[in-house]
Amino acid sequence: MEESINKPGYDAFLLKIVAIAGMAMQHSALVLGEVIPVALHFPLQLAGGLTFPIMAFLLVEGYRHTSNVKRYMGRLFLWGVISQVPHTMAFGMPLGFPTFNIMFTLFMSLLAIVLYDRMKRRGLFVFLFVLICLATALCDWGIIGPVVVFIYHTVKTERLRRIVAPVLAASYGLVTAVLIGILVGIVIVFIGIADPAAAEALTETLNTAGTTDVRMGATFAGILFPIGSFLVVPLVLRYNGERGRSLKYMFYAFYPLHLLILALIAYAVGISDLIFFAG
Protein backbone atom coordinates (compact mmCIF):
# COMPACT_ATOMS: atom_id res chain seq x y z
CA MET A 1 0.00 0.00 0.00
CA GLU A 2 1.37 3.40 -0.95
CA GLU A 3 2.50 5.54 1.95
CA SER A 4 0.78 8.90 2.19
CA ILE A 5 2.31 12.20 3.24
CA ASN A 6 -0.53 14.61 3.89
CA LYS A 7 0.25 17.13 6.62
CA PRO A 8 0.55 20.88 7.01
CA GLY A 9 3.24 22.10 4.65
CA TYR A 10 3.62 23.50 1.14
CA ASP A 11 0.94 23.35 -1.53
CA ALA A 12 1.47 23.18 -5.29
CA PHE A 13 1.02 26.94 -5.64
CA LEU A 14 4.00 27.68 -3.39
CA LEU A 15 6.17 25.08 -5.13
CA LYS A 16 5.31 26.65 -8.50
CA ILE A 17 6.32 30.07 -7.20
CA VAL A 18 9.68 28.67 -6.05
CA ALA A 19 10.21 26.96 -9.43
CA ILE A 20 9.33 30.11 -11.38
CA ALA A 21 11.56 32.31 -9.23
CA GLY A 22 14.50 29.90 -9.54
CA MET A 23 14.03 29.66 -13.29
CA ALA A 24 13.96 33.44 -13.76
CA MET A 25 17.03 33.90 -11.55
CA GLN A 26 19.19 31.33 -13.30
CA HIS A 27 18.10 32.40 -16.77
CA SER A 28 19.06 35.96 -15.85
CA ALA A 29 22.55 34.70 -14.99
CA LEU A 30 22.82 32.75 -18.25
CA VAL A 31 21.49 35.44 -20.58
CA LEU A 32 22.80 38.57 -18.85
CA GLY A 33 25.86 37.04 -17.23
CA GLU A 34 28.36 39.52 -18.59
CA VAL A 35 26.65 42.50 -16.94
CA ILE A 36 25.73 40.80 -13.65
CA PRO A 37 28.19 41.18 -10.75
CA VAL A 38 30.21 38.05 -10.00
CA ALA A 39 28.80 37.67 -6.50
CA LEU A 40 25.24 37.47 -7.81
CA HIS A 41 26.00 34.47 -10.01
CA PHE A 42 26.25 32.25 -6.95
CA PRO A 43 22.71 32.71 -5.54
CA LEU A 44 21.26 32.85 -9.06
CA GLN A 45 22.76 29.48 -10.00
CA LEU A 46 21.77 27.96 -6.66
CA ALA A 47 18.17 29.06 -7.16
CA GLY A 48 18.16 27.68 -10.71
CA GLY A 49 18.86 24.19 -9.44
CA LEU A 50 15.51 24.18 -7.66
CA THR A 51 13.45 24.54 -10.79
CA PHE A 52 13.40 21.31 -12.78
CA PRO A 53 13.09 18.81 -9.90
CA ILE A 54 10.07 20.80 -8.68
CA MET A 55 8.59 21.05 -12.18
CA ALA A 56 9.04 17.31 -12.69
CA PHE A 57 7.37 16.58 -9.36
CA LEU A 58 4.40 18.82 -10.16
CA LEU A 59 4.14 17.30 -13.64
CA VAL A 60 3.58 13.87 -12.07
CA GLU A 61 1.15 15.31 -9.54
CA GLY A 62 -0.74 17.02 -12.37
CA TYR A 63 -0.86 13.78 -14.34
CA ARG A 64 -2.25 11.90 -11.36
CA HIS A 65 -5.04 14.42 -10.90
CA THR A 66 -5.88 15.50 -14.45
CA SER A 67 -9.21 14.53 -15.94
CA ASN A 68 -7.91 14.79 -19.51
CA VAL A 69 -4.30 13.73 -20.10
CA LYS A 70 -4.51 14.42 -23.84
CA ARG A 71 -5.42 18.04 -23.15
CA TYR A 72 -2.59 18.23 -20.61
CA MET A 73 -0.08 16.96 -23.17
CA GLY A 74 -1.47 19.23 -25.85
CA ARG A 75 -1.09 22.25 -23.57
CA LEU A 76 2.56 21.44 -22.89
CA PHE A 77 3.29 20.96 -26.59
CA LEU A 78 1.50 24.18 -27.57
CA TRP A 79 3.40 26.26 -25.05
CA GLY A 80 6.59 24.56 -26.16
CA VAL A 81 5.95 25.81 -29.68
CA ILE A 82 5.07 29.29 -28.40
CA SER A 83 8.20 29.41 -26.24
CA GLN A 84 10.66 28.22 -28.87
CA VAL A 85 11.35 31.57 -30.53
CA PRO A 86 11.93 33.42 -27.22
CA HIS A 87 14.06 30.50 -26.03
CA THR A 88 16.30 30.68 -29.12
CA MET A 89 16.47 34.47 -28.91
CA ALA A 90 17.62 34.24 -25.30
CA PHE A 91 20.11 31.38 -25.57
CA GLY A 92 21.10 31.49 -29.24
CA MET A 93 22.29 28.39 -31.07
CA PRO A 94 25.44 27.16 -29.29
CA LEU A 95 25.42 23.90 -31.28
CA GLY A 96 24.83 25.64 -34.59
CA PHE A 97 21.09 24.92 -34.47
CA PRO A 98 18.32 25.64 -31.95
CA THR A 99 17.96 23.51 -28.85
CA PHE A 100 14.47 22.94 -27.52
CA ASN A 101 12.91 24.47 -24.42
CA ILE A 102 11.81 22.84 -21.18
CA MET A 103 8.18 22.53 -22.25
CA PHE A 104 9.22 19.91 -24.80
CA THR A 105 11.18 18.10 -22.08
CA LEU A 106 8.05 18.02 -19.92
CA PHE A 107 5.92 16.92 -22.86
CA MET A 108 8.24 14.03 -23.70
CA SER A 109 8.49 13.07 -20.02
CA LEU A 110 4.72 13.02 -19.67
CA LEU A 111 4.48 10.89 -22.81
CA ALA A 112 6.90 8.42 -21.21
CA ILE A 113 4.83 7.86 -18.07
CA VAL A 114 1.60 7.67 -20.07
CA LEU A 115 3.15 4.93 -22.20
CA TYR A 116 4.38 3.17 -19.06
CA ASP A 117 0.87 3.08 -17.63
CA ARG A 118 -0.83 1.97 -20.83
CA MET A 119 1.61 -0.42 -22.47
CA LYS A 120 1.59 -4.09 -21.46
CA ARG A 121 4.69 -5.02 -23.45
CA ARG A 122 7.49 -3.84 -21.16
CA GLY A 123 10.23 -4.66 -23.65
CA LEU A 124 8.66 -2.33 -26.21
CA PHE A 125 8.19 0.33 -23.54
CA VAL A 126 11.88 0.19 -22.59
CA PHE A 127 12.82 0.67 -26.25
CA LEU A 128 10.46 3.66 -26.60
CA PHE A 129 11.65 5.13 -23.30
CA VAL A 130 15.26 5.05 -24.50
CA LEU A 131 14.18 6.80 -27.71
CA ILE A 132 12.34 9.44 -25.69
CA CYS A 133 15.42 10.06 -23.54
CA LEU A 134 17.60 10.37 -26.63
CA ALA A 135 15.10 12.78 -28.19
CA THR A 136 15.31 15.04 -25.14
CA ALA A 137 19.10 15.22 -25.46
CA LEU A 138 18.54 18.43 -27.45
CA CYS A 139 16.09 19.86 -24.89
CA ASP A 140 16.65 21.67 -21.61
CA TRP A 141 17.81 19.24 -18.93
CA GLY A 142 18.56 16.64 -21.61
CA ILE A 143 18.20 12.91 -21.19
CA ILE A 144 17.89 13.04 -17.40
CA GLY A 145 14.56 14.87 -17.64
CA PRO A 146 12.34 11.87 -18.48
CA VAL A 147 14.30 9.71 -16.03
CA VAL A 148 13.59 12.06 -13.11
CA VAL A 149 9.89 12.21 -14.02
CA PHE A 150 9.77 8.43 -14.40
CA ILE A 151 11.21 7.94 -10.91
CA TYR A 152 8.75 10.38 -9.39
CA HIS A 153 5.97 8.37 -11.02
CA THR A 154 7.04 4.78 -10.48
CA VAL A 155 8.68 4.65 -7.03
CA LYS A 156 5.83 3.48 -4.81
CA THR A 157 7.09 4.62 -1.41
CA GLU A 158 5.99 8.23 -1.19
CA ARG A 159 8.85 9.56 0.91
CA LEU A 160 11.46 7.67 -1.11
CA ARG A 161 10.32 9.00 -4.47
CA ARG A 162 10.49 12.55 -3.16
CA ILE A 163 14.11 11.99 -2.15
CA VAL A 164 15.52 9.82 -4.94
CA ALA A 165 14.38 11.91 -7.92
CA PRO A 166 15.85 15.28 -6.80
CA VAL A 167 19.05 13.59 -5.64
CA LEU A 168 19.39 11.94 -9.05
CA ALA A 169 18.88 15.31 -10.77
CA ALA A 170 21.53 16.91 -8.57
CA SER A 171 23.97 14.04 -9.02
CA TYR A 172 23.55 14.23 -12.78
CA GLY A 173 24.63 17.88 -12.71
CA LEU A 174 27.70 17.14 -10.62
CA VAL A 175 28.73 14.09 -12.63
CA THR A 176 28.24 15.93 -15.93
CA ALA A 177 30.51 18.77 -14.81
CA VAL A 178 33.21 16.33 -13.71
CA LEU A 179 32.99 14.29 -16.91
CA ILE A 180 33.25 17.39 -19.08
CA GLY A 181 36.36 18.44 -17.18
CA ILE A 182 37.91 14.99 -17.58
CA LEU A 183 37.00 14.86 -21.28
CA VAL A 184 38.59 18.25 -21.96
CA GLY A 185 41.72 17.11 -20.14
CA ILE A 186 41.92 13.89 -22.16
CA VAL A 187 41.45 15.76 -25.44
CA ILE A 188 44.26 18.17 -24.56
CA VAL A 189 46.58 15.28 -23.63
CA PHE A 190 45.93 13.38 -26.86
CA ILE A 191 46.28 16.50 -28.98
CA GLY A 192 49.50 17.28 -27.12
CA ILE A 193 50.92 13.87 -28.01
CA ALA A 194 50.08 14.31 -31.69
CA ASP A 195 50.73 18.05 -32.02
CA PRO A 196 52.20 19.94 -29.04
CA ALA A 197 51.68 23.30 -30.73
CA ALA A 198 47.98 22.61 -31.28
CA ALA A 199 47.58 21.53 -27.64
CA GLU A 200 49.21 24.73 -26.46
CA ALA A 201 46.91 26.80 -28.68
CA LEU A 202 43.82 24.96 -27.37
CA THR A 203 44.89 25.47 -23.77
CA GLU A 204 45.44 29.17 -24.42
CA THR A 205 41.98 29.44 -25.99
CA LEU A 206 40.36 27.82 -22.95
CA ASN A 207 42.30 30.08 -20.61
CA THR A 208 41.37 33.19 -22.60
CA ALA A 209 37.69 32.22 -22.55
CA GLY A 210 37.70 32.53 -18.77
CA THR A 211 40.04 35.43 -18.17
CA THR A 212 37.46 38.02 -17.07
CA ASP A 213 36.29 37.98 -13.47
CA VAL A 214 32.66 37.60 -14.55
CA ARG A 215 33.36 34.57 -16.74
CA MET A 216 35.50 32.90 -14.11
CA GLY A 217 32.95 33.66 -11.41
CA ALA A 218 30.04 32.42 -13.51
CA THR A 219 31.86 29.18 -14.30
CA PHE A 220 32.71 28.56 -10.66
CA ALA A 221 29.18 29.52 -9.54
CA GLY A 222 27.76 26.76 -11.72
CA ILE A 223 28.77 24.22 -9.07
CA LEU A 224 25.93 25.57 -6.91
CA PHE A 225 23.32 24.59 -9.50
CA PRO A 226 23.18 20.88 -8.51
CA ILE A 227 23.28 21.89 -4.84
CA GLY A 228 20.04 23.75 -5.50
CA SER A 229 18.56 20.52 -6.81
CA PHE A 230 19.52 18.77 -3.57
CA LEU A 231 17.58 21.44 -1.68
CA VAL A 232 14.39 20.38 -3.46
CA VAL A 233 14.23 17.32 -1.18
CA PRO A 234 13.00 19.16 1.96
CA LEU A 235 10.58 21.20 -0.16
CA VAL A 236 8.81 18.26 -1.80
CA LEU A 237 8.86 16.29 1.46
CA ARG A 238 6.75 19.09 2.91
CA TYR A 239 4.28 19.03 0.00
CA ASN A 240 0.85 18.49 1.51
CA GLY A 241 -1.01 17.29 -1.57
CA GLU A 242 -3.08 20.47 -1.85
CA ARG A 243 -3.39 22.42 -5.08
CA GLY A 244 -3.56 25.88 -3.53
CA ARG A 245 -4.28 28.87 -5.73
CA SER A 246 -4.37 28.13 -9.45
CA LEU A 247 -1.35 29.35 -11.40
CA LYS A 248 -1.75 27.17 -14.48
CA TYR A 249 -1.86 29.65 -17.33
CA MET A 250 0.22 32.27 -15.56
CA PHE A 251 3.05 29.75 -15.27
CA TYR A 252 2.83 28.77 -18.94
CA ALA A 253 2.74 32.40 -20.08
CA PHE A 254 5.54 33.47 -17.75
CA TYR A 255 8.01 31.08 -19.35
CA PRO A 256 8.18 32.57 -22.89
CA LEU A 257 7.53 36.09 -21.61
CA HIS A 258 10.51 36.20 -19.26
CA LEU A 259 12.78 34.70 -21.96
CA LEU A 260 11.65 37.37 -24.41
CA ILE A 261 12.30 40.14 -21.87
CA LEU A 262 15.77 38.80 -21.08
CA ALA A 263 16.60 38.52 -24.79
CA LEU A 264 15.52 42.12 -25.39
CA ILE A 265 17.54 43.36 -22.40
CA ALA A 266 20.62 41.47 -23.63
CA TYR A 267 20.20 43.08 -27.06
CA ALA A 268 19.68 46.54 -25.55
CA VAL A 269 22.90 46.38 -23.53
CA GLY A 270 24.85 45.03 -26.48
CA ILE A 271 25.76 41.55 -25.29
CA SER A 272 23.56 39.59 -27.71
CA ASP A 273 21.96 39.74 -31.13
CA LEU A 274 18.31 39.02 -31.71
CA ILE A 275 19.03 35.95 -33.78
CA PHE A 276 15.67 35.83 -35.58
CA PHE A 277 15.90 39.47 -36.63
CA ALA A 278 19.57 39.73 -37.54
CA GLY A 279 20.29 40.83 -41.06
Domain positions in the chain: 12-268
Instruction: For residue 261, give every residue at least 6 positions away whose Cβ sits within 8 Å of its Cβ, in sequence order, or none.
Output: none
| Terminal-residue alpha carbon distance, the chain | 61
| 132 alpha carbon, distance to own chain's centre | 16
Provide the sign of the torsion angle of the four alpha carbons 7, 13, 17, 22, taken in this order. positive
Instruction: Supply the DSSP symbol for 2.
Output: -
pLDDT recorded at residue 8: 74
pLDDT recorded at residue 199: 53
Determine the 3-state secondary structure of 183 from DSSP. Answer: helix
pLDDT recorded at residue 201: 59
DSSP secondary structure of 233-257: HHHHHTB-S---S--HHHHHHHHHH
Residue 278 has φ and ψ, to the nearest 5°, of -70, 150
The whole model's pTM is what?
0.83
pLDDT recorded at residue 279: 41
Q: pLDDT of the chain along its 279 residues, tens only? A: 445 454 578 999 999 999 999 999 999 999 998 888 888 888 999 999 999 999 999 999 999 999 999 999 999 999 999 999 999 999 988 777 789 999 999 999 999 999 999 999 999 999 999 999 999 999 999 899 999 999 999 999 999 999 999 999 998 877 766 665 566 556 555 565 655 665 555 555 545 544 444 555 566 667 888 899 999 999 999 999 998 887 778 889 999 999 999 999 999 988 877 655 544
